[in-house]
Amino acid sequence: MSMINYASREINCKLVYYGPGLGGKTTNLEHIYSKVAPDTRGKMVSLATETERTLFFDFLPVDLGTVRGFKTRFHLYTVPGQVYYNASRKLILKGVDGIVFVADSQVERMEANIESMQNLYDNMAQYGYDLTRLPFAVQYNKRDLPNAAPVKDLQAALNPGWPVDDPVRQRETADPYHPGDQLVYQLDGTWIERAPYFESVAISGEGVFDTLKAVAKLVLKTLS
């Protein structure tokens, strides 16, 4: 979880981009890195083998304010897309503060998306983390492709929601990013909550910062 550096008056938060191989995780980070002011970011590090690649860098956003007088520095990571690198995936998730699941919108990648989402839940559970209680957003990437699945199908498969047992959270909550939609709602007498979602074309940057800002704000909310 977040680490406090009293010397620099900074809170360090870890965001992990998760999802299937070639879904757009690396493209997200590369776009963010290219747009963040050079004097607010650290060096991008790439750990690569013949078949897997992990990126990470840190940056200090200038528009998200402070928490109790501390600036917030975000450390962004990607995980290897292939399931057989699960040990690396689990290691990167350790101490995570927020997660972005990057799904590949192509119809033929639905099974890979589902497999990766289940793998995320499984790995989080092994650490004792409850994904439904952590800052979490879903990004549907590659929306510009002709074979992109409808968002409603992606939502049904990857973000159908989870039961809300805490009475304090059992109230209708509007989705601030999609007017008319709800993040928390009642269905047949059961309270359901879904993660916020975003459509993106990461290769052009569309939706990339919308996703990042949403999950970053959720992280800051947990710190305040």
- Within this chain, do residues 13 and 107 fall inside the same structural domain, yes or no? yes
Q: Which residues pair with 47 in a beta bridge?
A: 54
Q: What gap in Å lies between CA 116 and CA 125, rounded to an integer? A: 14
Pair 105, 57 in one domain: yes
Domain interval for residue 108: 3-159+196-223
Average pLDDT (120-145) is 96
Question: Do 41 and 128 reside in the same domain of the chain?
Answer: yes
pLDDT at 88: 84
Judgement on whether residues 60 and 143 belong to the same structural domain of the protein: yes
Residues 174 and 187 in one domain: yes
pLDDT in tens, 80-112: 876 667 888 888 999 999 999 999 999 999 999
Residue with the larger pLDDT of the pair 54 and 22:
22
The verdict on 183 and 125 lying in the same domain is: no
- On the question of pLDDT at 39 being above 80, the answer is yes
pLDDT reported for residue 53: 73
**29-33, 35-39, 51-55, 196-200: least confident range:** 51-55
Q: Is the domain of 85 the same as that of 175?
A: no
Is residue 94 located within the same domain as residue 116?
yes
Name residue 128's amino acid. Answer: G
Statement to judge: residues 203 and 106 lie in one domain: yes
Mean pLDDT of 143-149: 98
pTM (predicted TM-score): 0.94
Count of structural domains, the chain: 2
One domain for residues 91 and 184: no
DSSP string, 137-159: EEEEE-TTSTTBPPHHHHHHHH-
pLDDT of 199 above 90: yes
33, 38, 46, 79, 139 from 43: Cα distances, Å = 9, 9, 10, 18, 25
Same domain? 62 vs 143: yes
Q: What is the CA radius of gyration of the chain?
A: 17
Q: Are residues 130 and 187 in the same domain?
A: no
The pLDDT assigned to 136 comes to 98
Quote the pLDDT of residue 51: 63
